[in-house]
Amino acid sequence: MFNLESPLPNTTTRHEQISRVVVTAQQMRDIEARIFAGGMPVAALMEKVAGLIARRIIELYPRSHFPCIGILVGPGHNGGDALVVARELHFQGYDIVVCCPFSKLKDLTAQNAQYVKSLGIPVYEALEPLAKCAVFVDGLFGFGLERSLASPVDRIVDQLNEWSQPVVSIDLPSGIHTDTGEVLETAVQATQTFCLGLWKIGLLQDQALDYVGQAELIDFDIPIADIQAVLESPKIQRITPQSAIATLPLKRSPVTHKYKQGHLLLICGSRRYTGGAILTGLGARASGVGMLSIAVPESIKPLLSAQLPEALIVGCPETASGAIAQLQLPEKTDLRSFDAIACGPGLTVDAKPILQEVMNSDRPLILDADGLNILAQMGTIPTLQRRQAPTVLTPHAGEFKRLFPDTVDPTSDRIAAVRAAAAQSGAVVLLKGARTAIADIDYVWINPESTPALARGGSGDVLTGLLGGLIAQATTKHIPLLEIVASAAWWHSQAGILAARDRTEMGVDAFTLTQYLISVMRSN
């Protein structure tokens, strides 16, 4: 697990470490308090941060194309940052116009406001005089906002959102709750968000994403010691490319053979849902797992054999509805013969006895789709508490609510929800979404990149197969389960991103997605 004191070998930079840390509003307050208690002048830090922001604005919005910039100023230090940005852009030749609807400002912000006025930069209380600006900087409120925007600020934000000019938000879009990502009645819809110092958890919540735009971290050199003093060991982390590929591709000895590279059993498919079994198998194939067995109803065995000739397709007796009625593994084979089992895609709830059987096994188990639906029927918490081996659950929000009806609503705070579910069940829980969150009883990993292209039937089946194949291989390599699950989620989303770039978001069906999984490894 990532530790600020023990970076990944050789290539992990300070910026890589910092980019993985995620904080709440209170944790950020505590870290900043240590910085200021150590002697860093507030004014000096404001100058440094604003200088970095101004530099990025100049790079993204050159004066030749964006000659006039509007600055929205709040009463606190976020507004002070915005005023310093205004001054620096003024000195670079931009026409600057300021909107500050507040009569009372913090002392340092008021000083910067006075200096801006002395430079001849116009300052208005209303937004209308800024209508001709080519781009806006939102410095109304930073981290820690917990109440709705009051009048007239709410009207200014609504008016800004009706205009078409790009908006750069400092730290968070004004009106977004720092921790939950909730929109506090109204919020700035930013084009870019420059998160200051450390990633705020609200920026990684699904409900904030329509307001955040393109987010990037402005690293202003927070001392590692101050982060460690507050966080000790970071409990919430962003998955970065470097952290994901630290274990990918899984290392192989030159003298290895297929039986040393993991044996995965997939239990999936039905006469009604053949595609789920095929897509899960193709996801597993891309993982590089040494041996792949797929248990399906006898009637669809020929279809699987045609698509996955290298896999051992196990035809099983089926119910009248075409679901697997009974596992019928090859002679001298039982569930202990496999390094991992993945169960659920296309299975239908008629296969409940199958899930009861695999729940009693001592193998690592991945449950998805109907595997999750059956688990919910059985009683999630008591069933998992009786299980001795590792379990990974991969629900979307609807499945999550069925599995954990008494925990936090994942649509209101998915980070809190996934942490509570993992703590209650003892499982590793992967909550799918635009920002997939993965938790065990100690840690949460958040995948900060994805694409709407993955919002298509079958994408989750591909993830289940990929994840199962990686876990089957990892059991012999002593890699922590949570890290493998996080790497699989990152790999899956990156394949979607690459496919969408080539084929547009509308062109990434689940079968196409499987073809881009290997491309991710080539590009990294």
Q: Cite the annotated binding site for AMP by residue number.
A: 432-436, 460
Can you list the positions of beta strands (E) in 56-191?
68-73, 95-99, 123-124, 135-139, 167-170
How are beta strands 192-196 and 167-170 bridged, if at all?
Answer: parallel
Annotated binding site: 77-81, 138, 142-148, 171, 174, 346, 396, 432-436, 460-461
Q: How many CA atoms lie within 13 A of 11 on its CB side?
A: 5
Q: How far is CA 337 from CA 127, 280, 331, 361, in A?
A: 69, 20, 11, 11
Annotated binding site for (6S)-NADPHX: 77-81, 142-148, 171, 346, 396, 461
Report whether the peptide linkage leading into residue 152 is cis, meaning its omega lies within 30 degrees of zero: yes
Rounded Cα distance, 312 and 189, in Å: 51
Helix (H, G, I), strand (E, B) or coil at 236: strand
Rounded Cα distance, 318 and 16, in Å: 51
Rounded Cα distance, 514 and 279, in Å: 8
Strand partners for 422: none
Angle at CA 313, nearest 5°, toward 311 and 315? Answer: 175
Cβ atoms of 341 and 265 closer than 8 Å:
yes
Q: Indicate the angle between helix axes 459-474 and 481-503, nearest 10 degrees.
A: 140
Cβ atoms of 435 and 448 closer than 8 Å:
yes
Can you list the positions of beta strands (E) in 350-396?
365-367, 391-393
Closest to 98 (Cα-Cα) out of 119, 75, 129, 76:
129
Q: How far is CA 315 from CA 341, 349, 424, in A?
A: 16, 19, 36
Helix (H) or strand (E) holding 23: strand 22-23
Cβ atoms of 264 and 291 closer than 8 Å:
yes
Helix (H, G, I), strand (E, B) or coil at 263: strand
How are beta strands 437-439 and 428-431 bridged, if at all?
Answer: antiparallel
Task: State the DSSP code for 132.
Answer: T
Q: How far is CA 105 from CA 17, 98, 140, 174, in A?
A: 35, 14, 11, 17
Q: How far is CA 230 from CA 26, 236, 299, 419, 420, in A?
A: 10, 13, 59, 20, 22
Annotated binding site for K(+): 78, 138, 174
Rounded Cα distance, 279 and 393, in Å: 18
Helix (H) or strand (E) holding 326: none
